[in-house]
Structure 1
Amino acid sequence: MPNLPKLSLYIHIPWCMKKCPYCDFNSFVSKTQIPEQNYIRHVLNDLSNDISLASERKIDSIFIGGGTPSLFSEKSIQLLLNGVRARIHVSPFAEITIEANPGTVEINRFSGYQASGVNRISIGIQSFNQKSLRHIGRTYDASDAIRAIMLANTLGLNSFNLDLMHGLPHQTKKEALRDLQVAITLNVPHISWYQLTIEPNTLFSRCRPLLPNEDDLWDIFQKGHQLLHASGYEQYEISSYARQGHYCTHNLNYWRFGDYLGIGCGAHGKITQLNGSIIRTEKTKHPRKFMSGCYLHKLSEVCDYDKPFEFFMNRFRLLEPIPKNEYRSYTGLLEHSIRVPLDILITKGYLMETNNFWQTTQKGRLFLNSMLEVFLSK
């Protein structure tokens, strides 16, 4: 039997109040009342269909993402999580996160989520600057954002996260760094701080906004990184900073090439089987088709050729050392299968190697795409 990695559960809720111009996630604006309980019934059916893939393992973390899951009532989230627990074993110590939009944050609703077992909230602030919020199409204002954080601080959660973006349209260096300073002052335990990228099939890809130049973006990153470090935050992933004890368990499992069931519209899953094969699932994207009972869009097996790329695509995101034994355990491949690309990366100064670990260098973290390309070369 292979050394199976930890198992997480991702649940996708696809509805939003408004489609943001930079967003390429699977999300929809509902023109009628959202069919919360009907959707949850189908999501739980979807989970029931996938349970056989999990090999009787317990769930170590749950992440409810979207879309805007906090549009759902506390009663609906309770129904969802109770249904999950009735179908699969969830660790009593599981991290359970729900994503929230500041405009939907209410004390009664969030207390209700907490009573259902939610112990971590991820709040999509993006910016505290009213001008920046307007440029990226957000529907709340800066005061909503601050109120949401103050509320999260009072709930007694295990942790909470704040999503912040930099490199926004017409954003100055001073404005970008002030966003970080506000978050630090508000005592946010975990900050996901990432640069806006223009993705295909978004409004911004069709009508490209004026963005800061490359020199300014690099300056923002360097100064922001220094500010976070000086304020007691540890960078443990490319775009994730946290105070001690507040790393995101769910995302760590993704980046460590762990397994996860993905249920709901457009959700993706990756599950290692008892025979060592790795299965990927992709669910039907549109809510109407999904709620007709057509859950599974695609199921495929990861071939040996793709495993090195997929393993390191995740592991290179983390700053921690990569245990060599996990490569063999999680891919079923021997180290000699990647000796040539590893030697290339070491020679270029992108990667360090010991008897037991690999680890990206500071130089390597600046060239992650180049590092990954060597695993695709024939």
Structure 2
Amino acid sequence: MLTTPPLSLYVHLPWCVRKCPYCDFNSHEGRGALPFAAYVDALLADLDHDLPLVWGRTVQTVFFGGGTPSLFPPEAIDRFLQAASARLRFAPGCEITLETNPGTAEHGRFELYRAAGVNRLSFGIQSFDDGCLKRLGRIHDSGEAEAAVKLAQDAGYDNFNLDLMYALPEQTLAMAERDLERAFALQPTHVSHYQLTLEPNTVFAARPPQGIPDDDGAWDMQEHCQALLAAHGYAQYEVSAYARPDRRCAHNVNYWRYGDYLGIGAGAHGKITLGAEQTVLRRWKIKHPTQYLVHAGSAQAIGGDDRIEPARRPFEFMLNALRLVDGFALADFEARTGLDRAAIAAPLATAVAEGWLEHDGQRVRPTDLGRRYTNNVVSLFLDD
């Protein structure tokens, strides 16, 4: 039997100042005055439309992603959160994260986000090297990045993430190390540290920049930086996520544990367990903000619905759960897929034989080798 997992709320705010050449997210360069009030109205209409999927359930986390959510004024975030919490039960101490671009930080703004209920920030720093930032097409420099974090700290934020990338154009191992040292000086509670990849349909994919480190160089950076993060008290708990004790991102952990989430906003994706139907629904919204503003709250705003049949659930589950260093409990696999653990016995045995996974009869964990070959491991669980 499928058991209803924890529920999160993802809110997509699609505009940014300038589209970065490596970005494959649903983000759109803002031109002229942005329709903040109208977009909040659309979000609430969208939420009302999806509410029947989650009647009576409690929201454990909220995440504002983008785009650049910090383009939205605090009063717009406040209005949305007040209206959403009147429609859905928010758990006490609900983690509420806002993604923030240092280039949009203003004095006094963080105090107002905090007053609105945002209790966690995620800064898209990417690098503290001005040359790297310029090559990445970022709108901020290293000084603005540090100033933005300090403004947030002055506003009372003590729980925040810094996004950093490595294997950047013309980046050396020493430069990647310096990025982390400057991050440590700001005392974040969480660091997301991930490799630059050339995603399809991006400027970088069409015109790759010069000087990207080769695979060996990228691997050297990864190993060296992982050791540095550990030495400074940041424990790796996911492929690219490192946290101080008790400061893991609860929202993302819910994704990786195959939890549920409502996705509202242009291009937002959601995943909901429908207990009465004993199925898993994936729903996504139309991508373009202009069309979304017109259709939000109606069936026309739905880009698609996909019911995940039992045969596909092992792959979906593993695609998420095997990103976690601690892996997963077999009991959770059964509860969140509605399948007996016998359904994965054969591929699990193969992965153990290859040295990619280990399990003690209760939990399954990726080995160090398995974490290097995650795609190979996950592919074992594909439905033939």
TM over 0.5: yes
Task: Report the equivalent of 1:225.
Answer: 226
Superposition deviation, residue 61 in structure 1: 0.2
**What letter is aligned with 1:365?**
R
Q: Where does structure 1 lack aligned partners over 5 or more consecutive residues?
A: none
Q: Distance in 2 between matches of 1:152 and 1:192?
A: 18
**What letter is aligned with 2:42?**
H
Q: Distance in 2 between matches of 1:158 and 1:314?
A: 28
For residues 26-45 of structure 1, the aligned pairs below 5 Å read: 26-45=26-45
| Paired residues of 1:257 and 1:314 also in contact (CA < 8 A) | yes
Superposition deviation, residue 306 in structure 1: 1.0
Task: Report the equivalent of 2:274.
Answer: 273
Task: Report the equivalent of 2:142.
Answer: 142
1:373 to 363, 376, 379: 379
Task: Give TM-score, length-normalised by structure 1.
Answer: 0.98
| Paired residues of 2:25 and 2:66 also in contact (CA < 8 A) | yes
Larger CA deviation: 293-302 vs 360-369: 293-302
CA deviations on 1:197-248 (whole Å, 9 max, x unpaired) are 0000000011011201111111111110111111111001110011112110
Q: Distance in 2 between matches of 1:106 and 1:48?
A: 32
| Paired residues of 1:126 and 1:163 also in contact (CA < 8 A) | yes
SS in 1 for 2:221: helix
1:323 to 324, 329, 354: 329
Task: Report the equivalent of 1:128.
Answer: 128
Residues 1:195 and 2:201 are matched in the alignment: no
Superposition deviation, residue 129 in structure 1: 0.4
| Paired residues of 2:176 and 2:221 also in contact (CA < 8 A) | yes
Q: Distance in 1 between matches of 2:146 and 2:216?
A: 30
Return closer, same or farther for 1:262/1:344 CA change in 2, 3 Å cut-off: same
**What letter is aligned with 2:48?**
S
Task: Report the equivalent of 1:247.
Answer: 248
SS in 1 for 2:319: helix
For residues 82-97 of structure 1, the aligned pairs below 5 Å read: 82-97=82-97
2:286 to 256, 267, 284: 284
- Identity across the alignment (%): 43
Task: Report the equivalent of 2:362.
Answer: 356
| Paired residues of 1:160 and 1:190 also in contact (CA < 8 A) | yes
| Paired residues of 1:121 and 1:161 also in contact (CA < 8 A) | yes
| Paired residues of 1:55 and 1:274 also in contact (CA < 8 A) | no
1:334 to 335, 340, 343: 340
SS in 1 for 2:310: coil
| Paired residues of 1:55 and 1:273 also in contact (CA < 8 A) | no
Q: Distance in 2 between matches of 1:357 and 1:247?
A: 20
Q: Distance in 2 between matches of 1:68 and 1:32?
A: 15
Residues 1:257 and 2:290 are matched in the alignment: no
SS in 2 for 1:212: coil
Moved over 6 A (4+): none
| Paired residues of 1:161 and 1:188 also in contact (CA < 8 A) | yes
CA deviations on 1:349-378 (whole Å, 9 max, x unpaired) are 111111211111111000000001111263
Q: Distance in 1 between matches of 2:43 and 2:64?
A: 12
Q: Distance in 2 between matches of 1:152 and 1:248?
A: 18
SS in 2 for 1:114: helix
Return closer, same or farther for 1:377/1:78 CA change in 2, 3 Å cut-off: closer
How many corresponding residue pairs?
A: 378
Superposition deviation, residue 26 in structure 1: 0.2
**What letter is aligned with 1:310?**
E
Q: Distance in 1 between matches of 2:107 and 2:341?
A: 52
Superposition deviation, residue 151 in structure 1: 2.1
